[in-house]
Structure 1
Amino acid sequence: MTAQSWHSIASGKPYPVTGLTSGEVTSLDQFLGDAEFTIDGEGGPVVVCGHGVPLEDKIRFHEKDTVGGKDVRVWHVSSGGSGFVAESIAAF
């Protein structure tokens, strides 16, 4: 099954991060700057592309529709009990 780049995402629900396109996730620092990662979405894997900046003990990640494009949604990426999680948040 191939990862989808877009489908329905529930706001406020933490999704497990299953990997980075550049390899295994070992640190939150890997989400800084331009990055692309995959989450375990409800309908299968979902690719999230965008740009991350540090925010206290997590990364604020702005998902883009294309490289340098329009914002799609904002995520908070953090360390979870058994790995990393990404949660779509309302950001105004």
Structure 2
Amino acid sequence: MWKRLTLLWSLVRGDARELWFALRHPAAPGWLKLGSVLIALYVLSPIDLIPDVVPVFGVVDDLLLVPLAIRWLLKRLPPDIVEAAARRRAG
């Protein structure tokens, strides 16, 4: 489990930071919070789309679905949150 989470974190590190910033923003919409909770539940849940015991494919579903879900949420952020995140990255 830890190996899977470590690999997943290395894939989504930048996007996860941006998502975390967006969640803490005062104008964060409810759908963003709900989507983030659902992604976290999927990562931590022992029930997967493809069980982890299936060689290769069991881990690949997590490594594809989670980054895609995070990107999907980030692409739908309101413009003011995107601008605030860009200002934060710029320093």
- Hey, which of these two has a bigger chunk of strand by percent? 1
Higher relative contact order (CA 8 A, sep 6+): 2
- Hey, which of these two has a bigger chunk of helix by percent? 2
TM-score by length of structure 1 reads: 0.21
TM-score by length of structure 2 reads: 0.21
